[in-house]
A and B are shown apart, each in its own frame.
Chain A
Amino acid sequence: EVQLVESGGGLVQPGGSLRLSCAASGFILRNNFMSWVRQAPGKGLEWVSVIYSGGRRDYGDSVKGRFTASRDDSKNTLYLQMNSLRTEDTAVYYCVRESGRGVVSPYFDYWGQGTLVTVSS
């Protein structure tokens, strides 16, 4: 059974840093495209970043230069390092497994439960 379990969210001051983790089970992380998608309180969904199976990483404009996606293949775990955090980064962050990228519109077929990041002084 595919499972994604995020952790690492919490309260952080503007300008601070936080690292989110996403432990995967039921499949091999390095063989898949993995994204982070966030949702601000009461708002819609926003794609944040992707890490390709080959290691390439892409980011949305709102986080480019501040967030870094990575993975530890030995732990089958995905990470999102978030630096220079802003109040507008406050959201639930979901780890998602992707399919279809490069062929059709990527679709997110498995989602974690999400972890809340609150950026506030």
Chain B
Amino acid sequence: QSVLTQPPSASGTPGQRVSISCSGSTSNIGLNTVNWYQQFPGTAPRLLIYKNTQRPSGVPDRFSGSKSGTSASLAISGLQSDDEADYYCAAWDTGPDVVVFGGGTKLTVL
């Protein structure tokens, strides 16, 4: 059971906009910033969004992050087949003082 809650799956068609939610609590998302990672099968995750909304260099602006209260969201606009991957949210949890992750969302491009 992951500390942060994500839907196990999401889907969309090419060109569509999809959102992936990440729900937490006061001790993690409520008090701290949220990061997002993208992982393709058989490869290491890569940082996609940090500090709620920031994109590392090389990440297309089709990817955006937001946070409100104890929830966060990753939005992907202009969906492409290459976006098919697993997406994980993460945040610092001031209770146990550790980084906690969501269980991951598998995005399928139909």
Contacts and interface: CB of A to CB of B under 8 A. Distances in A.
B68 to A, nearest CB: 16
Interface string A16-60: 000000000000000000010000000011110000000000101
Interface residues of B, number: 27
B103 A106 contact: no
Chain B residues touching A, majority SS: strand
B32 A104 contact: yes
Contact of A105 (B2, B88, B90, B104): B90
A108 B45 CA distance: 9
Contacts, number: 64
Contact of B46 (A60, A111, A114): A111
A45 B56 contact: no
A107 B47 contact: yes
Nearest to B34: A105
A1 interface: no
A28 B51 CA distance: 24
A60 B99 CA distance: 9
A84 interface: no
Given A44-B2, A44-B101, A58-B97, 8 more contacts: A44-B102, A45-B90, A46-B101, A47-B99, A105-B99, A106-B99, A107-B50, A113-B43
27 contacts: A44-B102, A44-B103, A44-B104, A45-B37, A45-B45, A45-B90, A46-B101, A47-B98, A58-B98, A60-B98, A99-B50, A100-B50, A104-B32, A104-B51, A104-B92, A105-B51, A106-B99, A107-B50, A108-B35, A108-B37, A108-B45, A109-B50, A109-B56, A111-B46, A112-B44, A113-B43, A114-B44
